Structure 1
Amino acid sequence: MSNDLQALWLTLKLAILTTLILLSISPFIAWWLAKTKNKLRPLFEALVALPLVLPPTVLGFYLLLAFSPNYLPGQIWQSLTGSTLAFSFSGLLVGSIIYSLPFVVQPLQAGFVTLGNKELEAAKTLGMSRWNTIKHIIIPMTKRSFLLAAVMGFAHTLGEFGVVLMIGGNIPGETQVLAISLFEHVEAFEYQQAHQIAGGLLISSLVMLVVIYAFLQNKDAKN
């Protein structure tokens, strides 16, 4: 398998796992941010949104330090697995989860904010369990936000560069994702291969966004 195909597989694997993990943890964060009246909410919202404004290399640098055996997260990981977290696929996954967190949390938070309390109060009055309330009321009423969050998280992970380069380097088959492979081709003046990767990322990202917005528009028209 060529390095580019390995990079494609690694990128898809990273994007899928990152999106699935974020969709499992982000609803709880988004719900708390949407419903809490805690005075510290602006601080937590700022921490979640920080990757949106922080240069990726800055975030990657501090994650690289944290993942090294000289600091507690890296020490714990090495003691449990016998390998380093930095310059590994596991390190890329953790970094991607942190870097893509706001792209999943914020659409969900916006959906939860617009969710009325009448339905939730009615469910509580009828004695519905928390799980049934989530399954039959919250998720159906905010599925647009869930869909948008999933697409944004997946698409954003596909194009990661600065963070993955800092914490993962450029190891074929282990940490070399498509964005890194593209950079490597440009450095080597291999513009044909670079065009193929860049064009593929551009077209796939555009198609995903067109499909999701067309779907949402169709849903709005039906409603």
Structure 2
Amino acid sequence: MNKTTEKIFYMLTWFFQGSNYLSPYGYGVMHRMHHAYADTENDPHSPKYDETIWNMMWKTKTIYSDIANKKMIPDARFTEGVPNWEAFDKFARSWPSRIFWGAVYISVYAVFATQWWLWLLLPLQFLMSPIHGAIINWFAHKYGYRNFEVGDTSRNFLPTDFLMMGESYHNNHHKNGSSANFGGIRWHEIDPTYQVIKILNAFKIIKLVKHKEINLESVKKAA
């Protein structure tokens, strides 16, 4: 996408993630590191090297924060081409921003929560990002099935994935890290986010780049 669209998507990230906002730069760099060091001691989040899910998530949070705050300077191969809007990141990750969104969430519950137990869902609004991260980075490296034999523990956690918007097809993603489509290997693997990406590409908001075809023979062997 061009630089103007890039900034628009930065702002949309803040709007839709709210108090859960994650810096596209910080997360993007960390994600590249995860693929380069998957399930090794240098992996930012690996169940193989962290005894509990809590330890893994705290380690992930620390590394992400150090990258986003520029306390850690990763290799150039991890930062090259990653969108970086420091001024907006500083605002979106600030406590005033998070408190603002917290007030919005509480106001919505105050108006629309007709039963007391609905308020029990409110903490999930504040913890959506770490919950999502825990599901993918912990459970999708422990449970599920594999289409490909790769050099890490990645698995496809959900056979039909609308909860994680296709991201739980984690084994597919680790095999073909440059592919925008995390599904598409078995008939039931439909990546909802990829459908959105195709629409954005059709309207020329973004530009999809062709990649090599997947070796389906290795899928048959794994199956």
Query: Shared fold (TM-score greater than 0.5)?
Result: no
TM score, norm. by length of structure 2? 0.26
TM score, norm. by length of structure 1? 0.26
Structure number having the greater helix percentage: 1
